[in-house]
């Protein structure tokens, strides 16, 4: 009963949290994708909350509350891909994984507590070694238990997609995209290529490569030509992409952000995508980056001459590359289009004072 009270109180706090995006249309759309995936009867008890958080994540509590992070919505390319993730989380809920894991963890900590008591009152080295072995076994069992739950939720989520109107092959694509993003991030940071096939002792999930393979194998072959809802997804998320992209760029992960922008651009470049790419390159600030940023802002303005923030970025980029007159002109245009901008006073300080004659 204590866990349920805690979960209900957590949801009560969540309903008024500033982190929640209180937009009925977006929330209803995500809930519809969930219902289209798992079935209208199954999803009735679910309450969906969209959390403004750029990480790629979603979760579902035993009391039926589903949390979907904005970073996940940014990275999905279709209703089928989103349905694969939401179906996975619903699988955890339907199989009561959170409750079972809670019970397993409690049992494990009880064993560790008693083992520690026995070790504390004994001076025998064999008892001390036995206590260490018990700790390793308990923690190993818990991690393995979690990984097996993840596999079960993967398979259950895919079975929902197989029975839905959406393309189940999208489930494997989610993990292929995730691996590509991780590689892009590591490459820019100068890190070695990650190994997506190994399992660390403390891993709570199966390796990404394993998940991509078994999800591809289990998808119904004759469902490969089903609608994946990509166009509907782009239309529903379009109003939110500028905000979600801005939050992603603030993570200061150049490789991952560039990958996300390029991936979104596969559906066609937009003014907002060129703007986001300009912001990304200007933020890194290398001389060549500033030149490219100015080019990207220009592309954005060619598609939308009223995009004020593109003038701002263009002006700041050109000032830093020594193009003073062009930079100041772009900043003036920014203030004309957005005179009440939060940084308007700062931008005005950068402009030379106009000389007036009497």
CA distance 344 to 151: 52
Residue 48 resides in a domain: yes
70/211 same-domain check: yes
7 Cβ neighbours under 8 A, 6+ residues apart:
61, 62, 63, 65
Where is the domain boundary, 163, 192, 223?
223
CA distance 98 to 84: 19
pLDDT at 45: 82
273/219 same-domain check: no
Tokens 């001459």 correspond to: 305
* Residues of the chain under the 70 pLDDT cut: 1-4, 97-146, 199-205, 354-358
Strands 65-69 and 58-60: antiparallel
pLDDT at 131: 38
202/282 same-domain check: no
Residue 233 resides in a domain: no
CA distance 20 to 61: 16
Residue 257 resides in a domain: no
Residue 161 resides in a domain: yes
65/125 same-domain check: yes
Where is the domain boundary, 200, 223, 246?
223
pLDDT at 38: 94
Where is the domain boundary, 155, 190, 223?
223
Instruction: Report H helices in 164-240.
Output: 170-189, 208-218, 230-237
Q: What are phi and psi of 19, to 5 degrees?
A: -75, -20
Indicate the Cα dihedral angle 282, 354, 305, 324, nearest 10°: -30
203/289 same-domain check: no
pLDDT at 256: 97
Residue 311 resides in a domain: yes
215/289 same-domain check: no
99/154 same-domain check: yes
10/137 same-domain check: yes
Residue 131 resides in a domain: yes
CATH number at residue 289: 1.25.40.10
pLDDT at 111: 36
345/196 same-domain check: no
105/199 same-domain check: yes
153/294 same-domain check: no
Token pair, residue 222, equals 């004759």
For the whole model, what pTM was predicted?
0.84
Residue 251 resides in a domain: no
pLDDT in tens, 11-58: 888 888 999 999 999 999 999 999 999 999 888 889 999 999 999 999
Q: Label residue 176 exposed, middle or buried (CB < 10 Å: 0-12, 13-18, 19+).
A: middle
Q: Label residue 193 exposed, middle or buried (CB < 10 Å: 0-12, 13-18, 19+).
A: exposed
Residue 229 resides in a domain: no
45/108 same-domain check: yes
Domain span at residue 186? 2-223
Contact predicate 179/246, CB 8 Å: no
What is the number of structural domains in the chain? 2
């Amino acid at each position: 009963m204590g866990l349920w009270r805690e979960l209900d109180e957590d949801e009560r706090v969540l309903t008024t949290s500033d982190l929640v995006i209180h937009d009925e249309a977006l929330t209803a759309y995500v809930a519809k994708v969930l219902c289209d995936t798992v079935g209208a009867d199954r999803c009735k008890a679910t309450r969906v909350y969209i959390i403004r958080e750029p990480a790629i994540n979603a979760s579902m509590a035993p009391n039926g509350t589903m949390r979907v992070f904005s970073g996940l919505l940014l990275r999905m390319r279709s209703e089928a891909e989103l349905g694969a993730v939401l179906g996975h989380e619903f699988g955890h809920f339907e199989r009561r994984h959170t409750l079972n894991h809670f019970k397993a963890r409690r049992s494990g900590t009880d064993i560790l507590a008693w083992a520690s008591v026995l070790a504390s009152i004994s001076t025998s080295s064999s008892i001390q070694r036995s206590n260490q072995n018990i700790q390793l076994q308990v923690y190993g069992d818990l991690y393995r238990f979690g990984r097996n739950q993840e596999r079960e939720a993967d398979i259950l989520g895919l079975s929902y997609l197989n029975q839905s109107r959406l393309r189940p092959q999208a489930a494997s694509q989610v993990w292929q995209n995730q691996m590509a993003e991780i590689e892009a991030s590591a490459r820019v940071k100068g890190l070695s290529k990650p190994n997506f096939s190994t399992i660390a002792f403390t891993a709570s999930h199966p390796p990404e490569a394993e998940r991509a393979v078994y999800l591809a194998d289990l998808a119904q072959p004759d469902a490969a030509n089903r609608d994946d809802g990509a166009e509907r997804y782009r239309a529903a998320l379009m109003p939110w992409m500028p905000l979600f992209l801005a939050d992603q760029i603030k993570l200061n992960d150049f490789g991952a952000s560039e990958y996300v922008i390029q991936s979104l651009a596969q559906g066609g470049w937009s003014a907002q995508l060129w703007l986001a790419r300009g912001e990304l390159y200007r933020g890194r600030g290398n001389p060549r980056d500033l030149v490219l940023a100015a080019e990207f802002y220009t592309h954005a303005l060619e598609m939308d001459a009223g995009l004020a923030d593109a003038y701002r970025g263009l002006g700041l980029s050109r000032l830093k590359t020594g193009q003073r007159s062009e930079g100041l002109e772009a900043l003036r245009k920014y203030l004309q289009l957005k005179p009440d901008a939060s940084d308007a006073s700062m931008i005005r300080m950068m402009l030379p004072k106009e000389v007036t004659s009497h």
